[in-house]
Amino acid sequence: MSQFELDARRLLCPLPVIRTQDKIKTLAVGDVLVVTCTDPGVMQDIPAWSRINGHKVLSTESGEYEFVITIEVGE
Protein backbone atom coordinates (compact mmCIF):
# COMPACT_ATOMS: atom_id res chain seq x y z
CA MET A 1 0.00 0.00 0.00
CA SER A 2 1.43 3.38 -1.01
CA GLN A 3 0.38 6.98 -0.68
CA PHE A 4 0.13 9.28 -3.70
CA GLU A 5 -0.65 12.95 -4.13
CA LEU A 6 -2.63 14.78 -6.79
CA ASP A 7 -2.57 18.54 -7.30
CA ALA A 8 -5.96 19.58 -8.71
CA ARG A 9 -5.71 23.23 -7.69
CA ARG A 10 -7.15 25.89 -10.04
CA LEU A 11 -9.34 23.31 -11.72
CA LEU A 12 -13.10 23.62 -11.62
CA CYS A 13 -15.37 20.63 -11.27
CA PRO A 14 -15.69 18.21 -12.88
CA LEU A 15 -12.00 18.39 -13.80
CA PRO A 16 -10.73 17.54 -10.28
CA VAL A 17 -13.04 14.51 -10.37
CA ILE A 18 -11.73 13.48 -13.79
CA ARG A 19 -8.10 13.87 -12.68
CA THR A 20 -8.87 11.83 -9.54
CA GLN A 21 -10.60 9.15 -11.60
CA ASP A 22 -7.70 8.96 -14.06
CA LYS A 23 -5.09 8.80 -11.28
CA ILE A 24 -6.96 6.11 -9.37
CA LYS A 25 -7.05 3.96 -12.52
CA THR A 26 -3.27 3.71 -12.23
CA LEU A 27 -3.27 2.74 -8.52
CA ALA A 28 -3.74 -0.56 -6.72
CA VAL A 29 -6.47 -1.53 -4.28
CA GLY A 30 -5.57 -0.21 -0.83
CA ASP A 31 -3.40 2.65 -2.13
CA VAL A 32 -4.17 6.07 -0.72
CA LEU A 33 -4.57 9.21 -2.83
CA VAL A 34 -4.45 12.71 -1.33
CA VAL A 35 -6.12 15.25 -3.64
CA THR A 36 -5.63 18.99 -3.12
CA CYS A 37 -8.14 21.32 -4.79
CA THR A 38 -9.31 24.93 -4.79
CA ASP A 39 -12.90 24.44 -6.07
CA PRO A 40 -15.16 23.99 -3.03
CA GLY A 41 -17.44 21.85 -5.19
CA VAL A 42 -15.01 18.96 -4.81
CA MET A 43 -16.21 18.47 -1.24
CA GLN A 44 -19.45 17.15 -2.69
CA ASP A 45 -18.31 15.70 -6.01
CA ILE A 46 -15.23 13.65 -5.14
CA PRO A 47 -16.96 11.85 -2.25
CA ALA A 48 -19.98 11.22 -4.53
CA TRP A 49 -17.75 9.88 -7.29
CA SER A 50 -15.87 7.74 -4.76
CA ARG A 51 -19.07 6.26 -3.33
CA ILE A 52 -20.51 5.24 -6.70
CA ASN A 53 -17.22 3.78 -7.87
CA GLY A 54 -16.40 1.80 -4.73
CA HIS A 55 -13.63 3.89 -3.18
CA LYS A 56 -13.47 5.07 0.43
CA VAL A 57 -13.04 8.68 1.49
CA LEU A 58 -10.80 8.58 4.56
CA SER A 59 -10.94 12.30 5.34
CA THR A 60 -11.86 15.74 4.01
CA GLU A 61 -10.28 19.00 5.14
CA SER A 62 -11.60 22.49 4.30
CA GLY A 63 -9.21 25.41 4.44
CA GLU A 64 -9.90 28.99 3.47
CA TYR A 65 -8.71 28.46 -0.09
CA GLU A 66 -7.82 24.79 -0.34
CA PHE A 67 -9.65 21.53 0.13
CA VAL A 68 -7.91 18.23 0.73
CA ILE A 69 -9.58 14.86 0.25
CA THR A 70 -7.93 11.56 1.12
CA ILE A 71 -9.21 8.46 -0.66
CA GLU A 72 -8.45 4.78 -0.24
CA VAL A 73 -8.67 2.95 -3.55
CA GLY A 74 -11.32 0.22 -3.57
CA GLU A 75 -11.98 -2.79 -5.81
Partner 1 sequence: MSKQIRAVSLISGGLDSMLATKAIMEQGVHVEGINFFTGFCVEGHTHAIRKKDKDKPKRNNSLWVAETLGIKLHIIDIIEEYKDVLINPKHGYGANMNPCLDCKVFMVKKAKQWMEENDFDFIITGEVMGQRPMSQRRETMPIISAESGADDRLVRPLCAQSLPATLPEREGWIHRDQLFDFSGRGRKPQMALANEYGFTDYSQPAGGCCFLTDESYSNKLVDLWKSRGTKEYDLDDVMLLKVGRHIRPNRDFKVIVAREDGEARFMQGYKKSFINMNCASHKGPLALIEGDPSAEDLHLAAQIVARYGQGRDAEEVDVMVRDMSGNESILQVKPLGVDELPKEWFI
How far apart CA 44 and CA 57 sit, in angstroms, is: 11
In whole angstroms, the minimum distance from the beta carbon of 57 to partner 1 comes to 14
Q: Are strands 67-72 and 56-62 parallel, antiparallel or unpaired?
A: antiparallel
| Catalytic residue, candidates 13, 17, 24, 35 | 13
How far apart CA 65 and CA 57 sit, in angstroms, is: 20
13 is catalytic: yes
Which CB atom, from 26 or from 44, has the smaller least distance to partner 1? 44
* Binding residues for partner 1 (CB under 8 A): 9-10, 12-15, 17-18, 21-22, 38-41, 43-45, 48-49, 51-53, 65
How far apart CA 24 and CA 41 sit, in angstroms, is: 19
Catalytic residues: 13
